[in-house]
A and B are shown apart, each in its own frame.
Chain A
Amino acid sequence: MHEQAETRRFARRRASNLMSLLFVVLLASLSVAILLVIVGHIFANGLSSLTLDFFTKIPKPYGEDGGGIAQAIVGTIEMLLLAGLMAIPVGVATAIYLVEFGSGRFAKTVGFAIELLAELPSIVVGVFVWALLVRNVTGYSGIAGSTALAIIMIPIIARSVEEILKLVPNGLREAALALGTPRWKVVLFVVVPTVLPGILTGIMLSLARAAGETAPLLLTSLGNNFFNFNLQKPMAAMPLQIYNYAVSPYDDWHRKAWASTLVLIAIVAIMSGAVKFLTRRWKHESN
């Protein structure tokens, strides 16, 4: 009798375990399903527009079929490079300062500033760069766009590199210090090499995020329908191009918006794939 109750309780517990597992798995599959729908939709609508012209031509005048997004690809790559040049040193140095050297009030202030910067909506960054740079100094330009992207990238880099540096066991730093190594060398030649793949991944993450930013670029680089390699002039970017194509009333342009999305995703995927490949080789060589 007592045993029977025990068995029943056990059965009930098993059933509720099973139920909750099912529930969680169901919701988890939902996120996979969302991704599949998005990617599937992009492929279905965009694939047909991926011609050679699409990559090598600039957009046609309003309403005409044909043309491509070449100038936007150029603009995005150029602005990302410049933004990376600005944001990577600042972001990485900030993280190194916070983890390896920072203590006391100034470090707290820096940490807090990074925290706030990370929470700033990107449109606010755009407005800020517009007010300070675009209006007074540079005008609508690739430089202004890069600056906005860099401001968005800095906290992402700083925070991810900070987390990664914190994972380095203290024993490693002490081992190097005990050999009579100055602190800066410990950081540069022992700590950073140990987590280089992680640091590169963090940088990648920030580039991927910046590559998709639209709002701040509307206010800074403005967009451009013609080829422009000059960072001092208004510059096209893929998210801006997607926006332009998407809001038009033409079916051909809608397909081009989807195709541009496909290219943007591919660029990001290729970049992160390259980092994965390089870091794996790097790890392999050091073993």
Chain B
Amino acid sequence: MNPIRSFADLIPDAVPAAESRQGAERSIAIRGLAAYYGKHKAIEGIDLDIGPGVITAIIGPSGCGKSTLIRCINRMHEVIAGAYATGSVTLDGTDIYTPGSDPVQIRRRIGMVFQKPNPFPTRTVYENVIAGLRLNLPRKSKADYDEVVERSLRSVALWDEVKDKLHDAGTALSGGQQQRLCIARAIAIKPEVLLLDEPCSALDPTATLKIEDLLFSLKIDYTIVIVTHNMQQAARASDRTAFLMADENHVGHLVEAGPTREIFLKPKDSRTEDYISGRLG
């Protein structure tokens, strides 16, 4: 089978969702971003626009700086000792890197889900969902928390599976359930943007499809950025794709970005084509 044609089959037809959300807020503009680990420069010269109402996929070979890039979007990059970033990332027109802006506040607006499911082991399913509220927001009534827990778990399609296990440890769930729990925990504090760094790499195909369906239903409410190693996933689940690659000095650059259909079927850069087809062949 022609691999390229199989991508064409995977990619959904141009999504009108993006248009219907035009003028909506929650858009991100990255300009001249460079990120360092101490002296080592990991990415450089990144210019990328991330629109609301769509899913943006970031793809590229291992070590090209995908995680680094996505962690710069909510200032998680700098929690690693010696790591820092230069350039600008604006959310709705304000630069999150402007001096005096508080990374703690920014992370409440821009949530993140990691590669490895990481529910808090000392907390129950219920407590995991409301962890962000309990840790950082004024105390609310039990009824409010109940409501948040049910709503968040329903929107990650986990409610029916865990409604009888709400008071079991979060780590007692299966890997796929744990990852959906982590997404529920991230959206319980109602961020504007959701960043996901290879959220499905530890999951089986069924659980992966569940998460993809879930992202599809979440994109109306959240600006979503997903890093993935899986070409099929990028093709299936994203509206826009950004392709990153490291140069000979191991510094990651953005090769091209655009609608997923174009990147996969009519890439402008030969490196994009090589990567996409190489992955399949």
Contacts and interface: CB of A to CB of B under 8 A. Distances in A.
Interface of A: 103, 169, 171-182, 185, 189-190, 193-194, 286-287
A194 B122 contact: yes
B143 interface: no
Given A178-B112, A185-B135, A286-B124, 7 more contacts: A177-B76, A177-B79, A177-B107, A179-B107, A179-B111, A179-B132, A180-B109
B81 interface: yes
B120 A179 contact: no
Nearest to A196: B122
B261 interface: no
Given A177-B76, A189-B135, A193-B122, A182 B104 contact: yes
A176 B106 CA distance: 14
B131 interface: yes
A181 B79 contact: no
Interface residues of B, number: 32
B76 A287 contact: no
Contacts of A193: 122
A182 B105 CA distance: 9
Interface stretch (B46-54, B182-190, B207-215, B268-276): B182-190
B114 A171 contact: yes
Contact of B131 (A173, A179, A182, A287): A179
Contacts of B107: 177-180
Contact of B186 (A177, A178, A286): A178
B136 A178 contact: no
9 contacts: A171-B114, A172-B118, A174-B76, A175-B119, A175-B185, A178-B111, A179-B108, A179-B136, A185-B135
B192 to A, nearest CB: 12
Interface string B155-198: 00000000000001100100000000010011001000000000
Contacts of A185: 135-136
Nearest to B128: A175
A284 to B, nearest CB: 11
Nearest to B171: A287
B91 to A, nearest CB: 14
Contact of A181 (B104, B123, B182): B104
Contact of A286 (B74, B116, B122): B122
A199 to B, nearest CB: 13
A54 B64 CA distance: 73
Given A174-B76, A174-B114, A174-B118, A179 B135 contact: yes
B121 interface: yes
Contacts of B106: 180
Contacts of A174: 76, 79, 114, 118
Contacts of B119: 175
Contact of B116 (A171, A173, A176, A190): A171
B257 to A, nearest CB: 24
B180 to A, nearest CB: 14
A151 to B, nearest CB: 31
5 closest residue pairs by CB, A with B: A180-B108, A179-B132, A178-B112, A180-B107, A171-B118
